[in-house]
Amino acid sequence: MNALVNLLGRSVYAGPALAGFGALFFIGLVITVAGFDPIAALSALLSQSLGSVNGISEVLVRTIPLTLTGLGITVAFRARMFNVGGDGQIIFGAIAFVGCGLLFPTLTGWLLLPLAVIAGILGGAVWGGIAGILRARYNASEIIVTIMLTYVAFQGLAWAIRGPLQESSGIFPRSEAIPEAIKLGLLLDGSRLHWGLFIALGATVAVTLALRYTSFGYRLDAIGESPLAARYGGIGDRATVILSLAVSGGLAGLAGAVEIAGVHGRLHDAFAEGTGITAIAVALLARLNPIFVPLSAAMFAVLSVGVGGLQRQLGIPFPLVHIIEGIVILAFLVATRLQRDAVEG
Amino acid sequence: MAPASVTAPKPASRPVLELNGITKRFGALAANDDITLALGRGEVLGLLGENGAGKSTLMNILAGLILPDAGEILIEGRLARIAAPRDAVSLGIGMVHQHFMIVPTLSVAENIALGNRTLRPLPLDLSGVRAKIRQITDDLGLPLDPDAATARLTVGEQQRVEIVKALSRDARILILDEPTAVLTRDEASGLFDAVKALAQTGVSVILISHKLEDIFAVCDRVAVLRRGRKVHETSTKDTDADGLVLAMVGESITAPAARRNSPPGKLLLELDGVALRRGDGSTAVDGVSFDLHAGEILAVAGIEGNGQRELAEAIAGLQPPEAGRIVYDGKVHTRGTRTMELRRRGLRLVPEDRHAAGMLVDKSLRENQLLSHLHARRYNRAGWLKRRSAARDAQTVIADFDVRATSSNAVMRSLSGGNQQKMVLGRELADGLRLLIAAHPTRGLDVRTIAFIQRQLLDLRDRGIAILLISSDLGEIWQFADRILVFGGGRAHGPIGVTETTPSEIGAWMAGHA
């Protein structure tokens, strides 16, 4: 135990390594208890996700919305705002993106695409910003509000694709296909991997710079650490609280827009489900450092893609993947804490 | 982690507690450097030293909150390892911190039962706890109702809860960390009587303080720490205040210069019939009217909680007054007045609760430099921070104010209270200061830092800065203020020139007599 504490205190890599091994151990335990062979499960998981070009490209496809939404969660978390409503903001971003695309189909691509993407960002920003306003103005818990707004968003989507945005044939609950001009091109023929990957990486750089080098980033950190000190410093106003959740929602909205533009091509009932919740884990695993968010997102993408293999090859039921995700998050949280204690003596 | 281990019994009749060569380093700073101390049975030992001298570190080592790098601790002559607070408790060490560990929703008895491992958990024997509390409080002559709701207790009563809590766990060594800092004079003398009674029963007490009067009131012996080392140890009978001060500061303190002799300058701040409301809606003070000119010090005297905090917040634009008019530099405060804008126009505030309101304790010194100047052109170019300017300025404050820090990258939390206050003050002085509200700027600081900060205030006044000095220390006010405004009994008296009044008149106003 002491040797372990020593190691944790000395090497920054010891914590994540410990978490990795701990997570593997407990995942193996759960799979064994569930009556499956853990080694076969692990190999199925890895071969499905990382064993082929197609698998890897699927992992990257999944990484894109997780990265964008994870960045959003990170921004809010810096101000100690807990945005649990990523899914609702993704949906509103997607609706705004598609709505904008279908509204101006005659515009040329180089104009329509940025316009629609901005609409998507604004859609998410409005949905997050509402929670921000309620929090700043009435001190309503942003956790509750963002959860509730997600339910509203789900219903809003269901209505939109059966009402104003439904395809003209009126058969399926889905929208018309978006104009070709606002679809994101594929990076790899025969796969689903699209240019959104670079949007996600660009957003990572932008958020990293914004948090580290701008007064906005400083305001978030100040409010997050001490609302009173921020207020006395003249930077603790409501605008910052609202803005933190609006920017957070905007990034999730961007994820929704990119997901539609790159993968689905139109609105339908179920897309990117659960992304907003997994993105919380992504942000925590990245320790609220935006530069680590893509890496953290890729890890969860491996899990989520690999689980398809578990199901297909071994018949392991799907809910187990949620348990596995939970174990990964807990392992990293515990390891982070142990490491901090070791460093602080 | 090994539990508290007791090894190698040694002959009895030794001191209750011995520290041999205790050393603890934080980075390059030796917080405790080879400290050796002994505490006899039933003895009251004073531990004296300026902020940052290493008192808290030493006590945290005894309380099991940090482990020393070197040295040994002997309890009743046995080598002890105190790796966690529960080890300290089981070794009979009880600690009363400056900040109380009380759950406000629970009663006194419930608080004392909380976390006591010797009690049977289910069903909880609260009546036994009550009986024990009564027994302890009767022995000490410290009244305390076991069934009182702790949320309604005064600070002095809350401190009693902490003392009784420690004693109910059979503490043989009681450590009191700055116990009088939060007490009124009467409460303090009650506490001293209790400490003497405790010592009679054989409990040994370590009293941490930087007030000389506390040391002489109750301690048998006193040890003085400076810069992590024990520099002086003597029986209180064999020393006097001058000797201890000299040992504490290690150099003579120059008294600040006398009163201003130039006429006051431009009118900077004007209050007219201002009424201020507390957070709970009650009126704190009514009818505040005064003006403040460049190059003068106006003191606001009063017992705490009489509207001083609200006054500072109203002037700084943090909350609008209930009634009346505030004019800063020719511009009337409105609901739209922003703290940031006022700061930019040179109105700065050193808050009374500097820890919570004046700094970000987990951020570095250079990041703290930005806290109240985030939108100053010096640090901000179109939203992009000029971090290098902030680092340079933090470095300047560290050098100019002799701040003891490893570097400007050090975390605020790692500094002693005095050094933190220097950083806060230094930050507020930067770039275009015209009016400074200094709320209890020297409270809780060591003698030398107090003198340093007071010298800074005089310096600022001589440079034409207007200073509103909020203080509950009449001595300080008398020494530095040009005029005095008194808050008491919900009213404001004055301002009146210091030379035109007497301390007894001010005292009567503070007590609420018209």
Say whether B349 and A233 touch across the interface (CB within 8 A): no
Say whether B360 and A225 touch across the interface (CB within 8 A): yes
**Would you say residue B434 has pLDDT above 60?**
yes
pLDDT in tens, B54-107: 888 898 999 998 999 999 999 998 999 999 988 998 899 998 887 788 888 888
A171 reaches B (C-beta below 8 A): no
Distance from CA of B432 to the nearest CA of A (A): 16
Q: What is the DSSP letter of A125?
A: H
Q: Following DSSP, what letter does each residue of B422-439 receive, concatenated? A: HHHHHHHHTTT--EEEEE
Which positions in chain B touch A225 (Cβ < 8 Å)?
Answer: 360-363
Distance from CA of A233 to the nearest CA of B (A): 4
Q: What proportion of chain B, given as a percentage, has pLDDT over 90? A: 19
| B341, amino acid identity | E
Which positions in chain B touch A243 (Cβ < 8 Å)?
Answer: none
Spatial CB neighbours of A177, under 8 Å, sequence gap ≥ 6:
A265, A266
Q: Which residue has the higher pLDDT, B72 or B116?
A: B72
Distance from CA of A47 to the nearest CA of B (A): 41
CA B250 centroid distance within chain: 22
Distance from CA of B182 to the nearest CA of A (A): 22
Q: What is the DSSP letter of B143?
A: -
pLDDT in tens, B173-201: 999 988 887 777 778 888 898 899 889 98
Q: Which residues are registered as beta bridge partners of B331?
A: B328
d(CA B471, CA A51) in angstroms, rounded, equals 71
Query: Which one of B66, B339, B383 has the shortest CB-CB distance to A214?
Result: B383
Q: Which residues are registered as beta bridge partners of B74?
A: B18, B79
d(CA A45, CA A307) in angstroms, rounded, equals 6
Q: pLDDT class for B468, splitting at 50, 70, 90?
A: very high
| B60, amino acid identity | N
Query: Which one of B318, B343, B384 has the shortest CB-CB distance to A214?
Result: B384
Q: pLDDT truncated to tens, each residue of chain A (345 aa)?
A: 566 667 766 666 777 788 888 888 888 888 888 888 888 888 888 888 898 999 999 999 999 999 999 999 999 999 999 999 999 999 999 999 999 988 887 777 788 889 999 999 999 999 999 999 999 999 899 999 999 999 999 999 999 989 888 888 888 888 888 888 888 888 888 889 899 999 999 999 999 999 999 999 999 999 999 999 998 988 877 888 999 999 999 999 999 999 999 999 889 887 777 899 889 888 988 888 999 999 999 988 988 888 778 878 888 777 777 788 788 778 877 877 777 776 654
d(CA B90, CA A66) in angstroms, rounded, equals 50
**Number of inter-chain CB pairs under 8 A, A vs B:** 75
Pairing of β B435-439 and β B466-471: parallel
Say whether B339 and A231 touch across the interface (CB within 8 A): yes
**What's the whole-number mean pLDDT along residues B327-354?**
86
Spatial CB neighbours of A322, under 8 Å, sequence gap ≥ 6:
none
**Would you say residue B150 has pLDDT above 60?**
yes
Say whether A229 and B360 touch across the interface (CB within 8 A): yes
Distance from CA of B336 to the nearest CA of A (A): 12
Q: pLDDT class for B251, splitting at 50, 70, 90?
A: very low
Question: Is B423:B412 a contact under the CB 8 Å cutoff?
Answer: yes
pLDDT for B11 equals: 38
From the list A226, A267, A28, the residue with the least C-alpha distance to B372 is: A226
**Within B6-154, where are the H helices?**
55-62, 85-90, 108-113, 126-140
Query: Which one of A2, A213, A235 has the shortest CB-CB distance to B374?
Result: A235
From the list A256, A315, A288, A289, the residue with the least C-alpha distance to A68 is: A256
Distance from CA of B370 to the nearest CA of A (A): 9
Say whether B372 and A232 touch across the interface (CB within 8 A): yes
Distance from CA of B251 to the nearest CA of A (A): 35
Q: Which residue, among B57, B67, B339, would best test binding to A if mutated, counting the most A CBs under 10 Å from its CB?
A: B339
A233 reaches B (C-beta below 8 A): yes
B382 reaches A (C-beta below 8 A): no
Query: Which one of A218, A221, A229 has the shortest CB-CB distance to B358?
Result: A229
**Would you say residue B1 has pLDDT above 70?**
no
Which positions in chain A touch B384 (Cβ < 8 Å)?
Answer: 213-215
Say whether A218 and B370 touch across the interface (CB within 8 A): yes
Three-state SS string across A20-81, please?
HHHHHHHHHHHHHHCCCCHHHHHHHHHHHHHCCHHHHHHHHHHHHHHHHHHHHHHHHHHCCC
Which positions in chain A touch B343 (Cβ < 8 Å)?
Answer: 234
Question: Is B39:B16 a contact under the CB 8 Å cutoff?
Answer: yes
* H or E segment to which residue B352 belongs: none
Say whether A226 and B360 touch across the interface (CB within 8 A): yes
d(CA A13, CA B401) in angstroms, rounded, equals 39
Residue B136 DSSP SS3: helix
A341 reaches B (C-beta below 8 A): no
Query: Which one of A214, A216, A222 has the shortest CB-CB distance to B360?
Result: A222
B342 reaches A (C-beta below 8 A): yes
d(CA B490, CA B25) in angstroms, rounded, equals 49
Q: Which residue has the higher pLDDT, B144 or B248?
A: B144
Tokens 């008491």 label which residue? B488
d(CA A93, CA A127) in angstroms, rounded, equals 9
pLDDT for B218 equals: 92
Say whether B371 and A222 touch across the interface (CB within 8 A): yes
Residue A188 DSSP SS3: coil
What tokens appear for B125 in the block? 């024997």
B360 reaches A (C-beta below 8 A): yes
- Long-range pairs for A99-107: beta carbons < 8 A, 24 or more residues apart: A99/A165, A101/A178, A101/A179, A101/A182, A102/A165, A102/A175, A102/A176, A102/A178, A102/A179, A105/A179, A107/A181
Say whether B339 and A214 touch across the interface (CB within 8 A): no
d(CA A144, CA B477) in angstroms, rounded, equals 50
Question: Is B204:B37 a contact under the CB 8 Å cutoff?
Answer: no
Three-state SS string across B281-347, please?
CCEEEEEEEEEEECCCEEEEECCCCCCHHHHHHHHCCCCCCCEEEEEECCEECCCCCCHHHHHHCCE
From the list B132, B129, B95, the residue with the least C-alpha distance to B17 is: B95
Q: Which phi and psi angles does B159 have, rounded to 5°?
A: -65, -40
Residue B82 DSSP SS3: coil
pLDDT for B12 equals: 42
Which positions in chain B touch A230 (Cβ < 8 Å)?
Answer: 371
Pairing of β B173-177 and β B78-80: unpaired
What is the domain partition of chain A in residue ranges?
61-290
A231 reaches B (C-beta below 8 A): yes
Question: Is B81:B2 a contact under the CB 8 Å cutoff?
Answer: yes
d(CA B384, CA A215) in angstroms, rounded, equals 6
From the list A83, A209, A73, the residue with the least C-alpha distance to A141 is: A83
pLDDT for A122 equals: 96
Say whether B371 and A225 touch across the interface (CB within 8 A): no
Say whether B356 and A228 touch across the interface (CB within 8 A): yes
A216 reaches B (C-beta below 8 A): yes
Say whether A226 and B356 touch across the interface (CB within 8 A): yes
Q: Which phi and psi angles does A263 have, rounded to 5°?
A: -115, -55
Q: ipTM, 2 decimals?
A: 0.79
Say whether A2 and B1 touch across the interface (CB within 8 A): yes
- Most confident of the ranges A254-258, B127-131, B144-148, B440-444: A254-258
d(CA A38, CA B465) in angstroms, rounded, equals 73
The B residues from 362 to 381 touching A (CB cutoff 8 Å) are: 362-363, 367, 370-372, 374-375, 380
B1 reaches A (C-beta below 8 A): yes
d(CA A127, CA A109) in angstroms, rounded, equals 27
Residue B2 DSSP SS3: coil
- Long-range pairs for B386-391: beta carbons < 8 A, 24 or more residues apart: B387/A213, B390/B366, B391/B366
List the Cα angle B214/B218/B219 in 5-degree steps: 95
Q: Mean pLDDT score of chain B, rounded to an integer?
A: 83
A345 reaches B (C-beta below 8 A): yes
**Within B408-496, where are the H helices?**
417-429, 447-462, 474-480
A238 reaches B (C-beta below 8 A): no
Which positions in chain B touch A221 (Cβ < 8 Å)?
Answer: 360, 363
A342, closest residue in chain B (CA to CA): B1
d(CA B308, CA B166) in angstroms, rounded, equals 35
Distance from CA of B363 to the nearest CA of A (A): 9
What tokens appear for A287 in the block? 């320790």
Say whether A232 and B367 touch across the interface (CB within 8 A): no
Q: Which residues are registered as beta bridge partners of B107?
A: B149
pLDDT for A85 equals: 92
List the Cα angle A140/A146/A150 in 5-degree steps: 145
